[in-house]
């Protein structure tokens, strides 16, 4: 009987059809079920983050015109200003930066401290002729080989500054932080002198240079910084909250750094941190010292900002952002805790303390936001697979429930608002042409954020296991420096 049926082929064909139906039914259940759950999880997460962002937007609109730091009635501070520029493997970028800075700040009272390592002979050789010709430059070569960390390098510059003060019988008024690829503004020091009269820290906007050949990767930094420094830091400054330092375009009073040095045994910057600049600003705020973000223009109408080149490739962008996430959201939590936890007394649950805690949460939410983005994109992929299965295999359509449908509508409105703000801030800082790229670059930014979050967790895990922190800096090639020079000249002509 079995052989006859097999020869006729009836039962085997039915068996194969039943098996195929079973396999596609299992796949259909998996795709539709997983896609629905991922979309629900992502929609709830996006809703919560959207509300979080909307509250900050409301504060930005409500505080417009308050201008806590726009004017300062006290006379500007006097005295010399020290400029710290830590360097590792910067032979291609640093000499040009030094020439630009010396020319831009001609007539100002400043001394530029360059931190190098004994095993980085290329950088030392590149800057030595400039140091020999200009007394405003001070080359500081550390005792140990590099790279260590940027914080360790800055601490060596601080030690050299203190030694100079003792030797020369003088005292600097402030310390300015810059990187080896920065383009400084000629009115920058004057702005610092004015606002440091009432504050321990002053931060000016950081404007990434958009290179035409790296418009998608490097350009997304321009979009993010335009919004962050056009809204987020302004809100913190207007409300008198702790202000994170960007590490460039930042001035610190000599007294504030001395206070941190006393607490940290002569080292004001954390040598075991990936984001020592961020932590300095938050600690200054925890002590109740004033800090302000100043977005101003010079008499000619040119914005007083710090311009600089950012990564042009996706691998270097992921590496840089993973360092930021690991340093701020993960290791920074270990170092800083929450506001007032470093002080002997507790401020209590005042409105300002709650706002400060909220801002720290926003700084530390990057890993969670990346997880929500990953779930959203995975859900979209499964949705596309479900549509393909519906067309090719007769699967059921993925019908969202009432709750998911409501979430999708609300999140679409949030998305439209977010993109509108991104376009607004990019257009205000970089013009309408770049604003047109802001929407597609938001997708690029999401991909980089997800990759960086994954790498940051691995980086943080290695830091915990080994106890070692290494300066994972961005490389600057000669071509990127040359393109940046041209880009800045074009931007300033506009």
Q: State yes or no: pLDDT of 354 exceeds 80.
A: yes
Measured CA to CA, the distance from residue 282 to residue 250 in angstroms comes to 13
Section 174-202 average pLDDT: 96
Measured CA to CA, the distance from residue 376 to residue 443 in angstroms comes to 12
Measured CA to CA, the distance from residue 84 to residue 276 in angstroms comes to 14
Q: State yes or no: pLDDT of 185 exceeds 90.
A: yes
Q: How many CB atoms lie within 10 A of CB 461?
A: 12
What's the pLDDT score for residue 11? 43
Q: How confident is the model at residue 387 (pLDDT cuts 50, 70, 90)?
A: confident
Assigned domain for 297 exists: yes
Residue ranges making up the domain that contains 452 = 27-494
* CATH number of residue 201's parent domain: 3.90.550.10
Measured CA to CA, the distance from residue 122 to residue 90 in angstroms comes to 8
Assigned domain for 10 exists: no
Q: State yes or no: pLDDT of 210 exceeds 90.
A: yes
Q: State yes or no: pLDDT of 2 exceeds 60.
A: no
Question: What is the chain's percent helix, strand, coil content, to nearest 5?
Answer: 60, 10, 30
Q: State pLDDT tens for residues 271-283.
A: 999 999 999 999 9
Using an 8 Å Cβ cutoff, are 279 and 332 in contact?
A: yes
Assigned domain for 52 exists: yes
Q: State yes or no: pLDDT of 54 exceeds 80.
A: yes
45, 113, 271, 469 from 159: Cα distances, Å? 47, 11, 13, 21
Q: State pLDDT tens for residues 238-269.
A: 999 999 999 999 999 999 999 999 988 899 99
What's the pLDDT score for residue 7? 41
Q: How many domains would you assign to the chain?
A: 1
Torsion angle of the four alpha carbons 372, 375, 376, 380, in this order, in degrees rounded to the nearest 10:
180
Section 345-374 average pLDDT: 85
Q: State yes or no: pLDDT of 409 exceeds 70.
A: yes
Q: How confident is the model at residue 213 (pLDDT cuts 50, 70, 90)?
A: confident
Assigned domain for 303 exists: yes
Section 387-416 average pLDDT: 85
Of 114, 112, 116, the C-alpha closest to 147 is 116
Assigned domain for 12 exists: no
**Of the segments 59-68, 103-112, 209-218, which one has the largest average pLDDT value?**
103-112
What's the pLDDT score for residue 489? 53
Of 239, 98, 233, the C-alpha closest to 178 is 98
Section 481-490 average pLDDT: 52
Section 284-301 average pLDDT: 93
Q: What is the pTM of this model?
A: 0.88
What's the pLDDT score for residue 351? 78
What is the residue-averaged pLDDT of the chain? 88
Q: State yes or no: pLDDT of 485 exceeds 90.
A: no
Section 14-27 average pLDDT: 57
Q: How confident is the model at residue 339 (pLDDT cuts 50, 70, 90)?
A: low
Cross-strand bridge partners of residue 85: 114
Q: Which residue has the higher pLDDT, 477 or 466?
A: 466
What's the pLDDT score for residue 348? 55
Q: State yes or no: pLDDT of 227 exceeds 50.
A: yes
Section 352-357 average pLDDT: 88
Question: What is the share, in percent, of the chain residues with pLDDT greater than 90?
Answer: 70
What's the pLDDT score for residue 9? 45
Q: State yes or no: pLDDT of 20 exceeds 80.
A: no
Assigned domain for 15 exists: no
Q: How confident is the model at residue 392 (pLDDT cuts 50, 70, 90)?
A: confident
Q: State yes or no: pLDDT of 36 exceeds 90.
A: no
Q: State yes or no: pLDDT of 1 exceeds 50.
A: no
What's the pLDDT score for residue 23? 61
What's the pLDDT score for residue 59? 95
Q: How confident is the model at residue 487 (pLDDT cuts 50, 70, 90)?
A: low
Q: How far does Cα 214 stand from its chain's mean position? A: 18
Assigned domain for 1 exists: no
Q: How confident is the model at residue 5 (pLDDT cuts 50, 70, 90)?
A: very low
Assigned domain for 36 exists: yes
What's the pLDDT score for residue 453? 96
R_g of the chain, CA atoms, integer Å: 27
Find the distance separating the first CA and the last CA of the chain, reported in whole Å.
89
Q: Tokens for 465?
A: 């296991």
What's the pLDDT score for residue 439? 94
CA atoms within 13 A on the CB side of 274: 29
Of 347, 325, 249, the C-alpha closest to 293 is 249
What's the pLDDT score for residue 491? 53
Q: How confident is the model at residue 481 (pLDDT cuts 50, 70, 90)?
A: low
Q: State pLDDT tens for residues 190-207.
A: 999 999 999 999 999 999
Q: State pLDDT tens for residues 72-85.
A: 568 999 999 999 99
Section 151-159 average pLDDT: 97
Question: What is the share, in percent, of the chain residues with pLDDT greater than 70?
Answer: 86
DSSP letter for 200, please.
S
Of 157, 8, 193, the C-alpha closest to 85 is 157
């Amino acid at each position: 009987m079995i052989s006859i049926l097999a020869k006729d082929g009836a039962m085997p064909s039915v068996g194969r059809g039943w098996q195929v139906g079973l396999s596609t039914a299992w796949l259909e259940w998996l795709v539709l079920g997983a896609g629905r759950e991922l979309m629900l999880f992502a929609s709830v997460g996006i809703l919560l983050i959207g509300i979080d962002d909307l509250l900050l937007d409301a504060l930005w609109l409500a505080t417009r015109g308050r201008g806590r730091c726009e004017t300062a009635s006290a006379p500007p501070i006097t005295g010399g200003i020290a400029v710290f520029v830590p360097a590792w493997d910067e032979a291609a970028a640093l000499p040009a930066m030094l020439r630009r800075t010396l020319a831009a700040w001609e007539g100002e009272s400043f001394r530029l401290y360059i931190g190098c390592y004994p095993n980085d002979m290329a950088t030392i050789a590149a800057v030595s002729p400039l140091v020999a010709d200009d007394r405003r430059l001070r080359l500081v070569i550390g005792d140990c080989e590099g790279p260590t960390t940027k914080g360790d390098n800055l601490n060596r510059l601080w030690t050299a500054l203190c030694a100079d003060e003792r030797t020369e019988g003088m005292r600097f008024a402030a310390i300015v932080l810059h990187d080896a690829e920065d383009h400084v503004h000629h009115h920058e020091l004057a702005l610092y002198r004015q606002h440091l009269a009432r504050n321990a820290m002053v931060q000016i906007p950081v404007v990434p240079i958009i290179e035409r050949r790296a418009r998608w990767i490097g350009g997304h930094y321009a979009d993010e910084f335009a919004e962050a420094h056009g809204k987020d830091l302004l809100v913190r400054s207007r409300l008198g909250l702790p202000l994170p330092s960007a590490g460039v375009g930042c001035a610190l009073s000599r007294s504030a750094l001395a206070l941190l040095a006393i607490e940290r045994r002569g080292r004001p910057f954390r040598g075991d941190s990936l984001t020592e600049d961020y932590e300095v600003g938050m600690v200054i705020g925890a002590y109740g010292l004033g800090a302000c973000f100043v977005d101003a223009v010079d008499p000619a109408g040119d914005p007083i900002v710090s311009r600089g080149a950012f990564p042009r490739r996706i691998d270097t962008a992921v590496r840089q952002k993973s360092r930021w996430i690991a340093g701020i959201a993960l290791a920074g939590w270990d170092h800083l805790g929450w506001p007032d936890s470093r002080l002997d007394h507790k401020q209590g649950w005042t409105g300002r303390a709650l706002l400060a805690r909220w801002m720290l949460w926003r700084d530390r939410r990057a890993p969670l936001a990346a997880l929500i983005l990953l779930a959203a994109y995975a859900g979209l992929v499964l949705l596309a697979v479900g549509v393909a299965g519906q067309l090719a295999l007769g699967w059921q359509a993925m019908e969202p429930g009432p709750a998911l449908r409501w979430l999708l509508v609300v999140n679409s409105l949030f998305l439209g608002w977010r993109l509108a703000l991104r376009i607004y801030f990019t257009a205000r800082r970089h013009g309408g042409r770049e604003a047109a790229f802001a929407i597609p670059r938001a997708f690029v930014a999401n991909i980089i954020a997800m990759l960086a979050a994954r790498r940051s967790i691995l980086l943080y895990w290695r830091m915990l296991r080994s106890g070692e922190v290494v300066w994972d800096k961005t490389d600057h090639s000669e071509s990127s420096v040359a393109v940046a020079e041209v880009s800045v000249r074009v931007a300033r002509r506009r």
